[in-house]
Amino acid sequence: MSKLSIDDLAIFCKKKGFVFPSTEIYGGMAGFFDYGPLGVELKNNIKNTWWKTFVQNREDVYGLDGSLISSGKIWEASGHLSSFTDLLTQCKKCHKNHRADQLVEDKLKINVDGLSGESINKLLKDNNLKCPECKGDLTEVKSFNLMFPVQIGADITKDSTAYLRGETAQMIFVAFRNVVESSRVKLPFGIAQIGKAFRNEIAPRNFLFREREFEQMEIEFFVKPDEKKSPLLSKRQSDLEFLFYSEEAQAKESHPKKIKMSELLKEKLLTEWHAYWLAESYLWFVELGVNENNLRIRQHTKKELSHYSSATFDVEYNFPFGWKEIYGNANRGQFDLTQHMKHSKQSMELFDEDTKQKILPAVIEPSFGVDRAFLTFIYDAYHDDKERGNVVLKLHYKLAPVKVGIFPLVNKLEEKAKEIYHMLREEFVCLYDRSGSIGRRYARADEIGMPYCVTIDFETLEDKSVTIRERDTTKQIRVKLSELKHILEKLLKGEEFGKLGKLIK
- Residues of this chain that bind ligand GAP (CB under 6 A): 167, 169, 199, 201, 210-211, 214, 216, 218, 325-328, 365, 367-369, 371-372
Q: Which is nearer to ligand GAP, 216 or 339 (CB)?
A: 216
| Residue 308 Cβ vs ligand GAP, minimum distance, rounded to whole Å | 8
439: phi then psi, degrees, rounded to nearest 5? -60, -40
Q: Which is nearer to ligand GAP, 4 or 203 (CB)?
A: 203
Buried b (16+ CB within 10 A) or exposed e, 231-246: eebeeebbebebbbbb
CA distance linking residue 321 with residue 206, whole number of Å:
8
CA distance linking residue 170 with residue 76, whole number of Å:
11
CA distance linking residue 420 with residue 232, whole number of Å:
46
Q: Which is nearer to ligand GAP, 242 or 397 (CB)?
A: 242
| Residue 341 Cβ vs ligand GAP, minimum distance, rounded to whole Å | 19
CA distance linking residue 294 with residue 316, whole number of Å:
8
Q: Which is nearer to ligand GAP, 62 or 84 (CB)?
A: 84
197: how many CB neighbours lie within 10 A of its CB? Answer: 24
CA distance linking residue 173 with residue 73, whole number of Å:
13
Given a contact cutoff of 8 angstroms between Cβ atoms, the answer to whether 171 and 77 are in contact is no
| Residue 92 Cβ vs ligand GAP, minimum distance, rounded to whole Å | 27
| Residue 217 Cβ vs ligand GAP, minimum distance, rounded to whole Å | 9
Residue 312 burial (10 A CB sphere; 0-12, 13-18, 19+): buried
The single-letter code of the amino acid at 18 is: F
Instruction: Answer positive or negative: Cα dihedral of 47, 49, 52, 58.
Output: negative
Q: Which is nearer to ligand GAP, 210 or 398 (CB)?
A: 210
Q: Which is nearer to ligand GAP, 365 or 457 (CB)?
A: 365
| Residue 225 Cβ vs ligand GAP, minimum distance, rounded to whole Å | 20
| Residue 296 Cβ vs ligand GAP, minimum distance, rounded to whole Å | 14
| Residue 71 Cβ vs ligand GAP, minimum distance, rounded to whole Å | 18
| Residue 48 Cβ vs ligand GAP, minimum distance, rounded to whole Å | 18
| Residue 304 Cβ vs ligand GAP, minimum distance, rounded to whole Å | 11
| Residue 38 Cβ vs ligand GAP, minimum distance, rounded to whole Å | 20
Instruction: Answer positive or negative: Cα dihedral of 45, 48, 49, 50.
Output: positive
Alpha helices in 155-260 (DSSP H): 169-183, 235-238, 247-252
What spatial distance separates the first Cα and last Cα of the chain, rounded to whole Å? 31
Q: Is residue 188 reached through a cis peptide bond, with omega within 30 degrees of 0 on the bond before it?
A: yes
Given a contact cutoff of 8 angstroms between Cβ atoms, the answer to whether 57 and 97 are in contact is no
Q: Which is nearer to ligand GAP, 211 or 272 (CB)?
A: 211
Strand pairing partners for 214?
197
Q: Which is nearer to ligand GAP, 216 or 294 (CB)?
A: 216
- C-beta contacts of 245-254 below 8 A and 24+ residues apart: 245/296, 245/297, 245/298, 245/299, 245/316, 245/323, 246/299, 247/299, 247/300, 247/301, 247/302, 250/111, 250/298, 250/299, 250/301, 251/301
Q: Which is nearer to ligand GAP, 206 or 230 (CB)?
A: 206
223: phi then psi, degrees, rounded to nearest 5? -135, 165
| Residue 372 Cβ vs ligand GAP, minimum distance, rounded to whole Å | 4
CA distance linking residue 305 with residue 328, whole number of Å:
11
Q: How far is CA 95 from CA 14, 107, 136, in A?
A: 31, 19, 9
Q: Which is nearer to ligand GAP, 374 or 452 (CB)?
A: 374
Q: Give the residue at shortest CB distance from ligand GAP.
A: 369
Given a contact cutoff of 8 angstroms between Cβ atoms, the answer to whether 108 and 127 are in contact is yes
Query: Do you know the residue count of the chain?
Result: 505
Q: Which is nearer to ligand GAP, 217 or 454 (CB)?
A: 217
Q: Which is nearer to ligand GAP, 218 or 446 (CB)?
A: 218
| Residue 136 Cβ vs ligand GAP, minimum distance, rounded to whole Å | 26
| Residue 271 Cβ vs ligand GAP, minimum distance, rounded to whole Å | 18
The single-letter code of the amino acid at 2 is: S
Q: Which is nearer to ligand GAP, 220 or 272 (CB)?
A: 220
